[in-house]
Amino acid sequence: MTTHLMNTYTRQPVAFVRGEGAYLWDESGKRYLDAVAGVAVNGLGHAHPKLVKAICEQAAALIHSSNLYRIPKQEELAERLCALSGMDRAFFCNSGCEANEAAIKLARLYGHGKGIEVPTIIVMEKAFHGRTMGTLTASGSRKIQAGFEPLLSGFARVPFGDIEAIRQVAEHNKSVVAVLVEVVQGEGGINVLPPDFLVGLRQICDAHGWLLMLDEVQTGIGRTGTWFGFQHSGVVPDVMALAKGLGSGVPIGACLARGEAAEVFKPGSHGSTFGGNPLACATALATLDVIEEENLLENVRLRGEAIRSGLRQALASVQGVVDIRGEGMMIGIELDRPCAELVAVARDAGVLINVTADTVIRLVPPLIYGDAEVNVLVAAVSGMVKNHLQQAA
């Protein structure tokens, strides 16, 4: 083990050398079923031929030029994403935190444009928006913030999905300019917004001239069975952050905006050296193509439901299973006790899973799962959960 990496991750003792479809292979040749997908990144699975081809061709032609020049692939990607989402303009960056950082900056500029001196953004408890100073301040976890004070000012926090709490802030705080929320909280434990929350939030935002900003870094690009998580609600946001699944592993993030919000940034307001370079954009375009060609949105809806209902059936009478929830292929199994050690148990059995928020098993498989993968995953995970709950009892 190297001692030359900063100590930011407690890494599992395994290194993968190759992937194909929904499977990964380690250095010893052992095969694993992947239900992590690089934390909701590798939506097309591993080494998808169409993606590999697009990357190779673009790398051979031009990897990077600069945003000092026109980048046709970036223009094309912006057009595609806007057509799919109903947004008007895109800003490209390289990660989820940068996409959210762009949204935060956009909201502040929007507020100042309206003469609001201390523009305030409403954010949620248990939120995760990233690790930059702005996005860790917006995140709702002391673990992420502790030690990095002073945090930024200009944020107000409410319980996740609590529309009444937002109404109350609206009455008392005249500095609010935007609300930033995840459609399904990922790191926070696969928490789904209550039905009609976004409809209510849209009304409040419209009444007060606030921007409705969605962090779709994890939920976007098919993860929940629609292109974007908000499309289950019938409501369209003003600003949306994307990253994880967008580039299938080649780093790219995007902040999309609509209407007035789309006109806030001017030359010099914001920028990125690498953001939206030809390689990243070609990869993202190929990702969108494959999702369309292989009908993956429908696959996510069907297989996601099959995984959830399979788990519900297998764990129906099991004491200690608090909830099985999620949307599409973003699935959480909440237990009544910590379960981090299940990650290693599953890995030994050749299945890669993740645990978040201490007690929630998070399954975010590649969007390409077939019946075989669904069945193996359900059997493996339900078996482990039963053992875990019996052992500890």
Ligand X SMILES: *Cc1c(COP(=O)(O)O)cnc(C)c1O
Q: How far is the CB of 100 from ligand X (least distance, A)?
A: 6
* Identity of the residue, 85 or 100, whose beta carbon is nearer to ligand X in the bound complex: 100
* Identity of the residue, 11 or 337, whose beta carbon is nearer to ligand X in the bound complex: 11
CA–CA gap between residue 217 and residue 290 (Å, rounded): 19
**Which position has the token pair 């250095």?**
27
182 binds ligand X (CB under 6 A): yes
**Cα dihedral: 222, 226, 227, 232 (round 10):** -130
Size of the site for ligand X (CB under 6 A): 15
CA–CA gap between residue 327 and residue 201 (Å, rounded): 20
Binding mask 46-85 for ligand X (x = CB under 6 A): ----------------------------------------
Q: How far is the CB of 128 from ligand X (least distance, A)?
A: 5
Q: How far is the CB of 161 from ligand X (least distance, A)?
A: 15
161 binds ligand X (CB under 6 A): no
Contact pick of 97, 123, 246, 290 for ligand X (by CB under 6 A) = 97
CB atoms within 10 A of CB 43: 30
Q: Which amino acid is at 320?
A: G
- Give the range of 144-152, 212-220, 304-312, 352-360 binding ligand X by CB under 6 A: 212-220
In 3D space, the residue among 280, 296, 298, 330 whose CA is nearest the CA of residue 45 turns out to be 296
Residue 18 to residues 21, 29, 33, 349, 368: CA-CA distances in angstroms?
10, 9, 12, 18, 17
Radius of gyration of the chain, Cα coordinates, nearest whole angstrom: 21
* Identity of the residue, 187 or 373, whose beta carbon is nearer to ligand X in the bound complex: 187
218 binds ligand X (CB under 6 A): yes
Catalytic positions: 128, 215, 244
362 binds ligand X (CB under 6 A): no
Helix (H) and strand (E) counts in the chain: 12, 17
Going across the sheet that includes 351-352, the strands are 16-20, 23-26, 31-34, 351-352
Q: How far is the CB of 11 from ligand X (least distance, A)?
A: 16
215 binds ligand X (CB under 6 A): yes
Secondary structure class of 370 (helix, strand, coil) = coil
Binding mask 239-258 for ligand X (x = CB under 6 A): ----xx--------------
Binding mask 112-131 for ligand X (x = CB under 6 A): ----------------xxx-
DSSP state of 357: T
CA–CA gap between residue 98 and residue 236 (Å, rounded): 22
Q: How far is the CB of 125 from ligand X (least distance, A)?
A: 14
CA–CA gap between residue 288 and residue 228 (Å, rounded): 12
- Give the range of 94-102, 232-240, 259-267, 308-316 binding ligand X by CB under 6 A: 94-102
- Give the range of 26-34, 89-97, 256-264, 298-306 binding ligand X by CB under 6 A: 89-97
CB atoms within 10 A of CB 268: 6
Which positions lie near ligand X, rule CB under 6 A? Answer: 95-97, 100, 128-130, 182, 186-187, 215, 217-218, 243-244
